[in-house]
Structure 1
Amino acid sequence: MERAQSAESTGYVIRPNFQKKFRPSVIQGCLHEVLVEQLSDKEYDSKTVHQLTTTVADAVRARMKSQELDRYKFIVQVVIGEQRGEGTKMCARCYWDADTDNFAHDLFINSSLFCVATVFGVFHY
């Protein structure tokens, strides 16, 4: 009978299958690649750091979209600072579904700057 079709083709799927879940270890690898590509030859300049931050965030977002994680929304945060031996602290809080939602982050440091990039993957029901 043609009436007996899979739930994915006829119904509303409320959870992604394992292959389509946001997996932090995979995403962190992609994030690290983007940071190395974008920042390895850059030096900190206070006049252009705003544009550099936007460029890195856009590159990270494009890489996340290429992962084809259907129905996930991505939130990308990039912080770039001058490497002068100072510390920085970051914090993020939210309510989410611990089964489907997650985050990944990576740190890039060279002699002139540091960059902390975070990607939040939130499954859209």
Structure 2
Amino acid sequence: MADEEGVEEEEVLEGVEGSDTGASPQVDRKPLDPPKYEVRPGLGEKFQAENVYEIILSSMQEQLMGRQYRADQAPRWVRTIANGIRQRTQELGMKRYKILVQTVVVEMKGAGLMMGKRCLWDPETDQYVHALFKNDSIYCHTTVYAVYMY
């Protein structure tokens, strides 16, 4: 009887070791590393407001310097300015920032202009930069918003 019990145990052990269910003994498994989440940008990855301000000014001057306001050309100028600023800002290599550009071009006729903005965001990571271009007939205001994507 003792021999029969030993045979049964050996068969059961062989079935467990050779099974395809992955129930082999855990001998050499190492624990998984905890997941890494980037909640804040690194030291060199923050939004570069000074560089973006220079990009805004140069883009507006390149497009609008020496021009007179024309209502049929203003939408094209706005698209060119906004797309150029967005592309050049993204080339700065600030990882995980969503870049939003808003450009307004209006004719200067002596009337006042009021603009307002209200944003809800994280003040430690998100930021905005704005600049103004004026000549005799054009008033252009551009704002670049940088929102960190968690």
TM-score range, shorter chain: 0.7 to 0.9
Q: 1:122 maps to what in 2?
A: 147
Are 2:90 and 1:55 equivalent residues in the alignment?
no
Do the aligned residues in 2 keep the contact of 1:79 with 1:115 (CA within 8 Å)? yes
TM-score between the two structures when normalised by the length of structure 2: 0.72
Give 1:92 deviation, angstroms.
1.2
TM-score between the two structures when normalised by the length of structure 1: 0.86
For 1:42 and 1:56, locate their aligned partners in 2 and report how far apart those are by CA, in whole Å: 14
Q: 2:17 maps to what in 1?
A: none
Q: 2:89 maps to what in 1?
A: 64
Gaps of 5+ in 2: 1-33
Give 1:12 deviation, angstroms.
2.3
Percent of pairs identical after alignment? Answer: 33
Give 1:124 deviation, angstroms.
0.3
Q: 1:45 maps to what in 2?
A: 70
Give 1:95 deviation, angstroms.
1.0
Give 1:97 deviation, angstroms.
0.5
How many pairs does the alignment contain?
Answer: 118
For 1:91 and 1:18, locate their aligned partners in 2 and report how far apart those are by CA, in whole Å: 31
Secondary structure of the residue aligned to 1:73 is strand
Secondary structure of the residue aligned to 1:120 is strand
Q: How is 1:84-123 mapped onto 2 (pairs within 5 angstroms)? A: 84-123=109-148
For 1:66 and 1:38, locate their aligned partners in 2 and report how far apart those are by CA, in whole Å: 20
Q: 2:4 maps to what in 1?
A: none
Runs of 4+ in 1 over 6 A off after TM superposition: none
CA RMSD for the aligned pairs?
1.8
Do the aligned residues in 2 keep the contact of 1:107 with 1:116 (CA within 8 Å)? yes
Give 1:26 deviation, angstroms.
2.7
Bigger Rg, which one: 2
Give 1:107 deviation, angstroms.
0.1
For 2:49 and 2:74, locate their aligned partners in 1 and report how far apart those are by CA, in whole Å: 27
Higher relative contact order (CA 8 A, sep 6+): 1
